[in-house]
């Protein structure tokens, strides 16, 4: 190992002896580059760096901050909700939703050029050409909570319990319908994943299904009971003449209501008042 090291040392000394001027010239250039890199202002971005694919090389902190404020602090935000009961889209800007560009973090990452990197010749040029700083985002939880109240309310659809109703003179099923609601954690997570774009950003969430308390199956028995009542053959006899009561009339006498002791059940009763009115 020692002999190999001595061999390479003799080669280097021989090369320097034969190309003294060139070695001094190259060494001087490299030294000058390193000095220039150490002298480069710490409060400016490196030449050729990009911010979200836009050139911002050699700009000051103030210039970068103003760019971020002008282009990214009021970005349009559209929330898209897809749900079992309804779909909706709601527009605002990122600020009310609690999002803002993280200016301090972006500046820190853009200007990052530690001393050990400055020791490497031409590292500033290489880093500047390859650096593309993403837009970092801060999240304001209090603002988000205020924003979420309105969005969650707009998303929510109350489920509709199944029932039995009289329609066009017949007893029919009033079918149950699913409702929906959006979860704040899902909305928060989607907003935090967004990458800001000056022209606008889109957030997509799915609403959860909320099942009705009383399903169609729960009212099958009462539906059949009410339909059977209207199928009865009832007639009034006056002066030896029979006057049949129509199915529609029988249906209009029914009172179908929710059982006060069990919301999953219905009660079927007969209303005396319309019967009296009919007889008079």
Indicate the pTM of the whole model.
0.77
Give 131-158 pLDDT, tens digit per residue. Answer: 999 999 999 999 999 999 999 999 999 9
Give 43-99 pLDDT, tens digit per residue. Answer: 999 999 999 999 999 999 999 999 999 999 999 999 999 999 999 999 999 999 999
Cβ–Cβ under 8 Å, residues 142 and 176 = no
Cβ–Cβ under 8 Å, residues 219 and 228 = no
Cβ–Cβ under 8 Å, residues 84 and 178 = yes
* pLDDT computed for residue 251 by the predictor: 84
Cβ–Cβ under 8 Å, residues 33 and 121 = yes
Cα three-residue angle 11-14-16, rounded to 5 degrees: 110
Q: Is the pLDDT of residue 5 over 80?
A: no
In whole numbers, what is the pLDDT of the chain averaged over residues? 88
Side-chain half-sphere CA neighbours of 5 within 13 A: 2
* Phi, psi dihedral angles at 216 (to 5 degrees): -60, -40
Element (DSSP H or E) covering residue 255: strand 254-258
């Amino acid at each position: 190992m020692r002999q190999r090291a001595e061999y390479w040392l003799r080669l280097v000394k021989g090369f320097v002896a034969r190309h003294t001027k060139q070695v001094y010239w190259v060494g001087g250039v490299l030294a000058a580059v390193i000095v220039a890199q150490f002298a480069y202002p710490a409060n400016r971005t490196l030449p050729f760096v990009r911010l979200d694919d836009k050139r911002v090389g050699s700009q000051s902190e103030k210039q970068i901050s103003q760019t971020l404020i002008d282009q990214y602090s009021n970005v349009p935000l559209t929330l898209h909700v897809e749900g079992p009961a309804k779909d909706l889209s709601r527009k605002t800007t990122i600020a009310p939703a609690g999002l803002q560009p993280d200016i301090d973090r972006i500046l820190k990452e853009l200007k990052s050029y530690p001393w050990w990197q400055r020791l490497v010749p031409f590292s500033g040029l290489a880093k500047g050409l390859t650096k593309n700083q993403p837009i970092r985002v801060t999240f304001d939880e209090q603002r988000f909570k205020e924003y979420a109240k309105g969005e969650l309310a707009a998303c929510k659809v109350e489920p509709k319990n199944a029932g039995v109703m009289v329609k066009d003179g017949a007893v029919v099923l009033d079918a149950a319908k699913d409702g929906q609601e959006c979860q704040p954690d899902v909305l928060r997570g989607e907003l935090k994943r967004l990458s800001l774009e000056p022209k606008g950003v889109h957030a997509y969430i799915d609403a959860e299904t909320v099942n009705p308390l009383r399903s169609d199956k729960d009212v099958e028995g009462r539906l059949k009971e009410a339909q059977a009542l209207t199928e009865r053959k009832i007639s009034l006899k006056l002066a030896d003449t029979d006057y049949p009561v129509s199915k529609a009339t029988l249906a209009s006498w029914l009172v179908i209501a929710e059982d006060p002791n069990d919301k999953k059940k219905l009660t079927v009763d007969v209303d005396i008042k319309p019967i009296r009115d009919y007889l008079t």
